[in-house]
Amino acid sequence: MPGCVKPLFLAAGIAWTGFAAPLAQADASPRPFPPITVDLIYPPLKPQSTADEALASGRVQTAQYAATAPARKPWRIAFLFPHLKDPYWLGCDYGVISEARRLGLNVDILVANGYDDLVGQLHQMEEAIAANYDAIVISPISLTADNAAIAKARSRGIPVFELANDSTSDDLNTKITTSLTSMGSDATRWLINDAQKHGLKSVNIALLPGPADAGWVKGEVEGTRAEAARAPVKVNIVAIKYGDSDRIVQSQLAAQLLAEQGQSLNYIVGCTGCAPSAILPLKTAGLAGKIKIVAYDLTREIANAIRKGDIAAAADTKGVSQARLTTNAVVSLLEARERNIPHTILVKLGLLTQANFNTYDFGNSIAPEGFIPILNYAPAER
């Protein structure tokens, strides 16, 4: 197939030991997922708006998004991921592949080398356009830098959808993500409540939000700032250290942060690759009992860390659900199953702590234990 990568299976190098989430394995016969609670956002919207700006200005309808029926033909769909360096994107991979199996789709997942590989993602977009896929789903590395490539795909008649990472492009058919500022506000609200429970009148927090140009990072930081500004206790954001979500990069940033601010910090808030990377530096500095880590999003690794007490809490954007919903939305558009197509679909967030760990539905959020990334799927001949 021109422009497509060959079938490839990768070991992610991630430790999977820990709790057993109640999930079906990827090689089992896939069943329709339970309805997903979402906000559907329709115009009027301002041009080049983010998902959160759309939420603020658009017509919003809360709904239950149900699984669509299998596709009438094996549509060819390209998914562009920024990386597979942390388990969040493993969950998205699982959501895509499990729905491709159920719906009967040809999918290729094209993976860039990280948030510093914008050139790589733009090259993959060019390849996907040249290969004339029936649809492209992009998780943009940048809030704005992919916009021209998205416009080019649409000019060639290829529908383009957004998954998880936000973009300001007006050429997207539909955005599927979450309220990115809510990632920041929900995580920050938890630490404010925790501070109040411990009688603190003022707290110092530091952020390890991820790469500066990513739309979700902008949302995290804006949400944290807004929640801190209206908090009943004084919240001092003493440091923000941006960087790629690579484990080595984030471990180095965490160590720098602790060397500079460790004696005065109460909380560190970090992204899916960032929060776990702070655990070892915190223990090495002898500050594990003094500073709590809160995560902006949930992965299996973070869930295991919450179970063990290494991370206190995590907001949850439900990456598996986002990927499932996106795959369904593509089929619905290609087969004209919906007349009134929303501009943006936001999956409602969750929050995980030790208190609700035993009752939490992990199936919306993380891949099954032992799942290995699959980058290509083609249904059997009918």
Predicted pLDDT at 213: 83
pTM for this model (two decimals): 0.88
Per the CB < 8 A criterion, the answer to whether 115 and 164 are in contact is no
CA-CA distance, 91 to 109, in Å (whole number)? 13
Q: What is the average pLDDT across 290-306?
A: 96
**pLDDT tens-digit series, residues 61-72:** 999 999 999 999
Predicted pLDDT at 1: 32
DSSP H/E element including 236: strand 234-242
pLDDT band for position 319 (cuts 50, 70, 90): very high
pLDDT at 148 > cutoff 80: yes
pLDDT at 5 > cutoff 70: no
Give CA separation, 174 vs 242, 272, 346, in Å. Answer: 29, 25, 11
pLDDT at 18 > cutoff 70: no
Give strand pairing partners of 351. 315
Tokens of 125: 């977009």
**Which residues in 88-127 are b (16+ Cβ under 10 Å) and which e?**
bbbbbbbbbbbbbbbbbbbbbbbbbebbbbbebbbebbeb
Q: What is the average pLDDT across 148-160?
A: 98
Average pLDDT over all residues of the chain:
91
**pLDDT tens-digit series, residues 343-378:** 999 999 999 999 999 999 999 999 999 999 999 999
% the chain with pLDDT above 90: 86
pLDDT at 104 > cutoff 70: yes
Q: Which residues contact 155 (CB under 8 A, 6 or more apart)?
A: none
